[in-house]
Structure 1
Amino acid sequence: MLKLLSTFRVIAFLEGVSYILLLFIATPVKYLGDDPQYVKMLGMPHGLLFIAYVVIAVLISKDMKWSTRTLWVVLIAAVIPFGTFYIDKKYLKNVHA
């Protein structure tokens, strides 16, 4: 479980960074600068990281003894900017297997 948790923390960090880059850099450049290049570059990796985040969250939820409510909070955090960083700090950082 510890290895999957470590993987989840890395995926959560990368997903959060890719989401912030997509929202606050790539999208404004696309619409204000008429250049969709950055959205195309970041879109696919972010989508894959998002899917990996959701799948791994569901897989580790039993081992982490998360309630259904906690699992939903973890999943919803993936669609809120900076949400995955909050999840890491609140639910993942101090876990010892």
Structure 2
Amino acid sequence: MNGALTRYRIIAWIVGVLLLALTLVAMPMKYFGDNNLGVMIIAPVHGWLYVVYLAAVADLARRVQWPVTRILLVALAGTIPFLSFIMERRVVGWLSGADRQPSFTEA
């Protein structure tokens, strides 16, 4: 499971950085600078790497047996700027048990 988590974390960061570059650099260049070069380069790369991100999410979800709602939330995180970074930290917390709520039987 550690390998799947590492692969997920790496691709989550890559997809997040590319999405930020697309939304904060390439799209303003296109619409305000009349220059399509950034979008023509970054958009396809982000799109293909998002598919790799989905494969990493599926692999991790299969190994830890997540419910469908959690899989969808993590999968969609690669489409909203900054959310892939937040979700990556959340996934690490879920898998390490850091955000686990103590039960009444635990003292």
Decide: shared fold, TM above 0.5: yes
CA shift digits 1:10-59 (9 cap, x unpaired):
00000000001101110010111000011112122211210001111112
Equivalent position of 2:54 in the other structure: 54
Give unmatched runs, 5+ long, in structure 1: none
Equivalent position of 2:26 in the other structure: 26
Equivalent position of 2:64 in the other structure: 64
State the 1:92 CA deviation.
Answer: 2.3
Q: TM-score, normalised by structure 2?
A: 0.81
C-alpha distance in 2, partners of 1:9/1:86?
11
Please give the residue correspondences for 1:1-97 in structure 2 after superposition, counting only pairs within 5 Å: 1-92=1-92, 95=95
State the 1:93 CA deviation.
Answer: 5.3
My pick for the range that moved more, 36-45 or 85-94, is: 85-94
Structural RMSD (CA): 1.5
State the 1:94 CA deviation.
Answer: 6.7
SS of residue paired to 1:7: helix
Alignment: residue pair count: 96
**Percent identity for Structure 1 against Structure 2:** 27
Moved segments of 4+, more than 4 Å: none
My pick for the range that moved more, 19-28 or 62-71, is: 62-71
Q: TM-score, normalised by structure 1?
A: 0.89
